[in-house]
Amino acid sequence: MNTSIIDRLAGAGRLDRLFIDGEWVLPAGQDRSAVIDPSTDEPVAEVALGNAQDVATAVAAARRAFATWSVSTPQSRAALLARIHGLILERAEAFAQAISQEMGCAISVARGAQVPIAAEHIRVARDLATSYPFLTHRGSTAIQREAIGVCGLITPWNWPLYQITAKVGPALAAGCTIVLKPSELSPLSALLFAEVIQDAGVPAGVFNLVSGTGPEVGAALATHPDVDMISITGSTRAGVLVAQAAAPTVKRVAQELGGKSPNVILPDADFSRAIPAAVAAGMRNVGQSCSAPTRIIVPRERLAEVERLACDTASAFVVGDPRSPQTTHGPVANRAQFNRVQEMIGVGLAEGARLICGGPGRPQGLERGCYVRPTLFSDVQPQMRIAQEEIFGPVLVIITYDSVDEAVEIANGTVYGLGAHVQGRDLAAARAVAARIRSGQVHINNPPWSPDAPFGGYGRSGNGREYGVEGLEEYLETKAILGYGEVPAPSAA
C-alpha cells in the first residue's frame, strides 16, 4: 500500500483542515470521514468534514475577495492560471498516486488520463482569459460579459481532479470566486489541488475548499443567499435536490448529471475496429463515467460477430491492483458502487438478458476489494432496466436493430442525453445519424478527446455546458450598456 501521499498530507496538517480565506483552518465541527482504499476495502486515512458554519465562513471570504478579483485584468488571471497549470504538471505523479488510492483508478490511467486531461482544463481557461471578448459592441450599445459572482462548485468522486479543474479553471478565468465541495469519498486529490492554489499565489478568499457531505455542505451552498451560482456534477437525483434547494434564492444552477449513452454501430462500420473500441470506451475508468457509451446498438444480422469481438476485448482486460502498471482496470470506487453494480447485474439476469461475459462476483483470484468482472449482456430489450438505468460500472448491453431509423429511435429512447457515439465508414451517413441523436455530445468514429468541445446534456442529463468557450460563459453575466457610444473602426494604417 502506498501511503506516502497520505503521510505527507497528514504531516503538513492537511487532512484535519479546510482551506478558507487563504489559510488551512480547523473546521467548526468534529465530524470526520474515512478515506477507503477500494482495492482493499479498508480505511487508509481520515479527513475533516465541514458544516454549514464553515460554508458561511468560506462564502463570506469569497464575497470579500470578489470585489477585487472580479475587476482584475484578464492578463493577470491568465498568468495565475498558467502557474496553476505548471504546478499540476510538476506534481502530476503525486496527483496520480492520490487518485489511484482514493478511488481505485489504475495507475496507468491516472497518469495517462486523469491528471493530464485535468491539466488541460486549466490550460484552456488560461488561454480563454486573454482571448475571450469580454466587451463587444452593437452600434452604440456595449455588451459586457462579467463574472457572475461567488460560485459553489460540487464535484464527484469518479474523475476527482478532472471535474475540479473543469469548473475551477473557467470560474477563475471569468473573475469569479469559489467555494469548492469535493466528494468526501475522494478528497486527497482535492487537498493537493488546494496546495497548488496556495503555492500559485491565488489571492486569499478567491478559492476556498470545504470538504463535507451533500446533505450538509452541498445543501448549505445551494441555499446560501450570497452564493450566485451552483455548478454540480453528480447523479440526476443529487442534481434535482440541489436545484430545488437553490430555487428560493434564484441562483444559476448548472448541472452535469447522469447518462445512458448509446454507441450506434452502422452496418458499414469496420466491426473489427468498432466493437473493441466500443467496449473499451464503455468500460473506460471501470465504466464510472457519466457519458460512458454503455449501450452498444448493432445490426441484428451481425450479432454473433459483435458478441465474439466484444467478449474477446473484455476478456483481455487486466483487473487487479490499481498500483500495478499491468492493471488496466482497478476496482470500482467504493463499496456502495460495488453493491449497486452487483445488484444491476442481478437485475439483468432476472430480466432475461443473456450474459455473454463476466457476471456477478469478483474476478477470480481477487478475494477482497471492490473489484467487478467486466460484464456484457446480449439479447437486451431497449426497455429493460439495464438498458435504461445508469449502472456506473463495467457493465455494457448489446441491443440489435433492423434499420437505421430503429437504431436512432433506440439511441434516443432514454430520459438521458449526455453523450453518444456513431461508428461507420460513410462519414455523411454517420453525420446524418449524429444529427438525429438528442445528446449534448456525439463522437463519430472515436475521435480524440477535446477540452474545447462543449460538454453537457439534454433531458435529465442536466443543463448548461462545461469545457471551452461555452464552459467559460456559464460563469458570466451579460450586461448591456446603452449609450456607450460608437466605437471607431480600426485604422487601415
pLDDT digits (tens, 9 = 90+) for 42-77: 999 999 999 999 999 999 999 999 999 999 999 999
Strand order in the sheet with 23-25: 23-25, 18-20, 207-209, 177-181, 150-154, 229-233, 252-256, 462-463
Catalytic residue among 176, 290, 311, 370: 290
In a 10 Å sphere around its CB, with 0-12 CB exposed, 13-18 middle and 19+ buried, how is residue 40 labelled?
middle
CA distance between the termini of the chain: 67
| pLDDT, position 490 | 60
Please give the model's pTM, rounded to 2 decimal places. 0.96
Per-chain mean pLDDT for the chain: 97
- CA torsion sign, 417 to 104 to 29 to 205? negative
Listed in sequence order, the residues at least 6 apart from 83 whose beta carbon sits closer than 8 Å to its beta carbon are 200, 201
Residue 205 · residue 65 · CB < 8 Å: yes
Please name each of the domains of the chain with its CATH number.
4-257+457-480 (3.40.605.10), 262-444 (3.40.309.10)
DSSP annotation of 302: G
Using only C-alpha atoms, what is the Rg of the chain? 23
Cβ-contact 196, 118 below 8 angstroms: no
Name the residue with cell 451560482: 229
Residue 195 confidence class, pLDDT cut points 50, 70, 90 = very high
pLDDT at 386: 98
| Cα–Cα distance, 250 to 98 (Å, whole number) | 37
Mean pLDDT in residue range 450-466: 97
pLDDT of residue 111: 98
Q: Counting beta carbons within 10 angstroms of the beta carbon of residue 163, is it exposed (0 to 12), middle (13 to 18) or buried (19 or more)?
A: buried
Rounded mean pLDDT, 269-292: 98
The predicted pLDDT at position 486 comes to 78
Q: What is the pLDDT of residue 4?
A: 87
User: Which of 213, 153, 158, 144 lies closest to 177, judged by CA?
Assistant: 153
Using pLDDT thresholds of 50, 70 and 90, give the confidence band for residue 1.
Answer: very low
Contact status, residue 438 vs residue 414, Cβ threshold 8 Å:
no
Q: How far is CA 411 from CA 262, 288, 406, 445, 455, in A?
A: 5, 20, 9, 16, 18
pLDDT for residue 488 is more than 70:
no
Q: Quick check: helix, strand or coil at residue 265?
A: strand
Residues 320, 365: Cα–Cα separation, whole Å: 9
Residue percentage of the chain with pLDDT more than 70: 98
357 is catalytic: no
256 catalytically annotated: yes
Number of residues written out for the chain? 493
Task: Give the E-state strand segments of 292-442 in sequence order.
Answer: 295-299, 354-357, 375-378, 395-401, 421-423
The x, y and z cell numbers of residue 51, run together, are 458544516
Please determine, for residue 468, whether its predicted confidence score (pLDDT) is greater than 60.
yes
Q: Given this model, what pLDDT does residue 492 score?
A: 54
Task: Taking residues 190-199, report their average pLDDT.
Answer: 98
Percent of the chain residues topping a pLDDT of 90: 97
Catalytic residue of the set 102, 120, 216, 256: 256
Q: What is the pLDDT of residues 299-340, one digit of tens each?
A: 999 999 999 999 999 999 999 999 999 999 999 999 999 999
pLDDT at 493 over 60: no
pLDDT of residue 142: 97
